[in-house]
Amino acid sequence: RCTESSKKAFFTEYVDINSTFYTQRAKNRRPGEPPLDKGLIPWLGHVLEFRRNTWRFLERMEKKHGDVFTVQLAGFYITFIQDPMSFGAFVKESREKLDFRKFASHLVRRVFGYIATKADHEMLNASSNRHLKGDGLEVMTQAMMINLQNLMLHNVDSSSDQVTWREEKLFAYCYNIVFRAGYLSLYEKDRAESEALYDEFRKYDQLFPRLAYGVLPPKKRREATKLLEYFWNVLSVQKLKGRDNISRWIWDVQEGKDNAGVKEDMITRYMFVLLWASQGNTGPSSFWLLLFLMKHPEAMRSEVKPGGPLVKMSREMLMKTPILDSAVEETLRLTAAPLLTRAVLQDMTLKMADGRQYFIRQGDRVALFPYSAIQMDPEIHPDPRSFKYDRFLNPDGSKKTDFYKAGNKVKYYTMPWGSGASMCPGRFFATNELKQFAFLMLLYFEFELINPNEEIPEIDYSRYGFGTMQPDRDLQFRYRRRY
């Protein structure tokens, strides 16, 4: 049963935000403002079409209004910038005018029941800089390597016949292995518990998009509340304090919040925020990476010698894999589709790269959707729907950073990790996770699709805006030890 307090905590944001939506004043376009499209449905505006397929909706709006326009979405007026040459105006604007924290605090309260504090972002960045970069990243990389190997080899090593092909669903396999290895590296060392927690995480993950938009029906909302209580129990401060093997990053964040006077139940809820933020996208990304590699075997040629004992792959080694780096970046270009949103804290003028200026009102929002504006732009990335593992490599093997549109160099040519002050602080750890997973699969296993000619799945459009996309169906593959 759900306690009354947990119900209240979970649904307060739902009521508060929607009350705020309804009190938003009606808006008409003023001289100097971007074209305004409120849609036909009062208050809701275009939100139904936007949720159904964000890319197609923005494409339609751009054809109708140009590369800057304001639309009404569930009571909010959001100005989208579709001109990649003008992204700097968004990324570099001061927090006094454009701030991501207000939007983020609404989201984490609605989805995770966590009430954000003003110090959250700075505290998380400080902890991440200590433990997810430099020497701290070395420690995390080694922990992840050990846990990946243990999980990947556990089933095949316990089998009486190690050379027999094992058949599984590819998305389920990749997500399971990478999520659990990440969880074990951050929070726990109990392999059996990680399996049960993964199952519950997937249930919550599937509810996430509609939960974020506040459109879950009552039965599903009750399910989400029960799942939240499950995670608050597993990741409670008291339980984590009783473990002597949680990562320094998690311990540091927990200790920092405790010292700042944050209540214990809120710290517990923040632990689930961190779990989702750190592991919610790497599993799906590992699926796409492995699938693209199987579809392009020329990209899998490697100097890695198959078989052998457990290996120790250091952070330094992971920094010397240019082909794999390019393959990872290309995978994220094709499948990472975050919506970058800022709250407008004061009336401001948005200055475009070509000299145009637009007045933006306080209380509105400004947003980028890099997936459509740059990552799938055929002028910036020719043949954008195709996976080209060497797209981000120069002929001499160095990293390619020169991409152009209309003859002008594009600074922001892919943005899977966000931008500016809100850029994902764990991006280096996440990239290492993907590379380690692919490296170990190539090292230890032969693997192939059951149907080599099966087409790559379409993406689940409902997840636009929330990081890495997920497939609309799974594929069967098989694998076995190389020796």
At residue 288, the 3 state secondary structure works out as: helix
pLDDT value, residue 245: 82
CA distance 462 to 56: 12
Kindly state whether residue 324 falls inside one of the protein's structural domains: yes
If one compares 57 and 22, the residue with the highest pLDDT of the two is 57
Q: Of the ranges 40-49, 153-162, 165-174, 186-195, which is most confident?
A: 165-174
Neighbours of 22 (CB within 10 A): 8
111: exposed, middle or buried (Cβ count in 10 Å: 0-12, 13-18, 19+) = buried
pLDDT value, residue 20: 41
Kindly state whether residue 422 falls inside one of the protein's structural domains: yes
| Total domain count, the chain | 1
Helices and strands counted in the chain (H then E): 18, 13
Q: Is 365 known to sit in a ligand binding site?
A: yes
What confidence tier does 373 reach under pLDDT thresholds 50, 70, 90?
very high
Does this model's pTM top 0.85? yes
Q: Comparing 70-84, 283-297, 315-329, which segment has the lowest mean pLDDT?
A: 315-329
What confidence tier does 304 reach under pLDDT thresholds 50, 70, 90?
low
For residue 423, what are its two tokens? 């850029």
Q: How far is CA 14 from the centre of its chain?
A: 23
Maximal C-alpha separation, the chain? 75
Q: Is 481 known to sit in a ligand binding site?
A: no
Q: Is the pLDDT of residue 313 over 80?
A: no
Kindly state whether residue 472 falls inside one of the protein's structural domains: yes
Q: Comparing 311-325, 376-390, 425-439, which segment has the lowest mean pLDDT?
A: 311-325
Kindly state whether residue 475 falls inside one of the protein's structural domains: yes
Main-chain dihedrals φ then ψ at residue 317, nearest 5 degrees? -65, -40
Rounded average pLDDT over 235-264: 92
Kindly state whether residue 447 falls inside one of the protein's structural domains: yes
Q: Is the pLDDT of residue 416 over 60?
A: yes
Q: Is the pLDDT of residue 17 over 60?
A: no
363: exposed, middle or buried (Cβ count in 10 Å: 0-12, 13-18, 19+) = middle
At residue 300, the 3 state secondary structure works out as: helix
Name every residue whose Cβ is closer than 8 Å to that of residue 230 and which is 6 or more positions away in sequence: 200
Q: Are 307 and 482 in contact (CB under 8 A)?
A: yes
If one compares 7 and 152, the residue with the highest pLDDT of the two is 152
406: exposed, middle or buried (Cβ count in 10 Å: 0-12, 13-18, 19+) = exposed
Amino acid (1-letter code) at residue 211: L
What confidence tier does 400 reach under pLDDT thresholds 50, 70, 90?
very high
Determine how β-strand 476-481 pairs with β-strand 445-449.
antiparallel
pLDDT value, residue 10: 41
CATH of residue 144: 1.10.630.10
Q: Is the pLDDT of residue 164 over 90?
A: no
Q: Are 13 and 106 in contact (CB under 8 A)?
A: yes
Rounded average pLDDT over 33-42: 95
Q: Comparing 42-51, 259-268, 305-314, which segment has the lowest mean pLDDT?
A: 305-314
Kindly state whether residue 11 falls inside one of the protein's structural domains: no
Rounded average pLDDT over 451-474: 95
Q: Which domain holds residue 381?
A: 36-481
Kindly state whether residue 260 falls inside one of the protein's structural domains: yes
Q: Is 155 known to sit in a ligand binding site?
A: no
pLDDT value, residue 159: 58
Rounded average pLDDT over 247-268: 94
6: exposed, middle or buried (Cβ count in 10 Å: 0-12, 13-18, 19+) = middle
Kindly state whether residue 13 falls inside one of the protein's structural domains: no
Q: Is 453 known to sit in a ligand binding site?
A: no
Q: Is the pLDDT of residue 293 over 90?
A: yes
Q: Is the pLDDT of residue 338 over 70?
A: yes
